[in-house]
Amino acid sequence: MLRGYLALTAQDSGMDADRVIAVRSAPPGLLDAPARTLYNARMAAAIARVPGVEAVAFIDMPLLQSLRAGTDFKPPVTGRGSDETDVVVTPSYFATMGVAIRMGRGLTEADRGLGVVISETVARRYWPGRSPVGETIQYGAGTRDIVGVAADARDVSFDRPPTPTLYHAWDDRDARVATVVARFSGPPERVTADIRRAVREAEPAAAITMLATIEDLISASIAPRTFNTLLFGVFGAAGVLVALVGIYGLVSFLVARREREMGIRLALGASTRGLKVLVVSGILRWVAGGVAAGIAAALLGAQYLKPFVYQIPANDPATLTVVTIGFVVIAAGASYLPARRAARVDPIVALRAE
């Protein structure tokens, strides 16, 4: 779980979104298409006037909420996937979010209903090894021309593979309620508060359903994994501590019972090093049995751990090997201290006490 969590937090989001805020608000009541278009424009204008906001764009979906839209895309090759999703954005979306255009170009106003930008996953899936720019795809009852390929962005969920996405140019005639993304400079707390105030002033009755930086949305997206990793980590550390204390206490007890034997061995010429090896090796034989049982239990229970790990097999051999070696080293250290004390026993004192 720890390795999976580290891999999760280190992965690339596909977005340069450390200075981007996402704002989504619901207009009061049910608005008709022209009213929704006017509402979006009013929200964007209000946010653009906030000090520190450098660029504003629209997207039709809430970011990082694990929500997918359907698609009218008809793949040129069947059987390769059916998880593509449609996203509608304004042309400035890619620059505002920091999503790189890998091939071709981004969207323009002239692409409404005609052009589409696809993500790298879609390009690799249907046009492997070549550029799809310029290709015409079947989309619903019509066609769309691929004008560019955008980098894969984890804008649906951070702890899942990037969603295969088709980006379409925003059309006010669709009258969607927009999520406004704004690139900013300055302290996030101040800009967030200013944006909240600007939205309230533009429409006092609006319900703000999302107002957070992309970094905060990413943190919220992986919060369950963060909690699970912390919880399991605490109990795992407690288990190691209990094992360490238990081994130390058991070895101390066994060594105390064998004090006369240790004295006789020393009296007959045994070395202190030999006594240490005798005690530690004896304990490690029991530890080896316990580790073997633990590995067997881990392999049997791996299937139940799959939902909690990320990009790491639940029965990962490298993890089991490292944990095994680590536990054996801990056990050896816990048994060495009593063994060292036993090797210092004065043979005369031990025999006289008996």
The DSSP bridge pattern shows strands 73-74 and 85-89 to be: unpaired
Q: Which amino acid is at 182?
A: A
Q: What is the mean pLDDT of the chain?
A: 87
**209, 179 Cβ separation under 8 angstroms:** no
pLDDT digits (tens, 9 = 90+) for 94-140: 999 999 999 999 999 999 999 999 999 999 999 999 999 999 999 98
pLDDT at position 352 over 80: no
pLDDT band at 340 (very low <50, low <70, confident <90, very high): confident
| Secondary structure (3-state) at 196 | helix
pLDDT of 2 reads 87
Residue whose entry in the numeric block shows the structure tokens 């996203």: 87
Tell me the whole-structure pTM to 2 decimals.
0.77
| Secondary structure (3-state) at 305 | helix
pLDDT at position 30 over 80: no
pLDDT digits (tens, 9 = 90+) for 52-94: 999 999 998 889 888 777 788 988 877 555 688 999 999 999 9
Q: What is the DSSP letter of 172?
A: G
Which one is predicted more confidently, 239 or 352?
239
pLDDT at position 175 over 70: no
pLDDT at position 351 over 70: no
Residue 107's Cβ-count burial label (10 Å; 0-12, 13-18, 19+) is: buried
Q: Which residue in 165, 145, 195 sits closest to 20, CA to CA?
A: 195
Q: Which two tokens stand for residue 246?
A: 């238990």
Torsion of CA 12, 16, 18, 23, to 10 degrees: -110
Handedness of CA 161, 165, 170, 173 (dihedral sign): negative
pLDDT of 192 reads 94
The DSSP bridge pattern shows strands 179-184 and 20-26 to be: antiparallel
**How many CA atoms within 13 Å lie on the side-chain side of 230?**
6
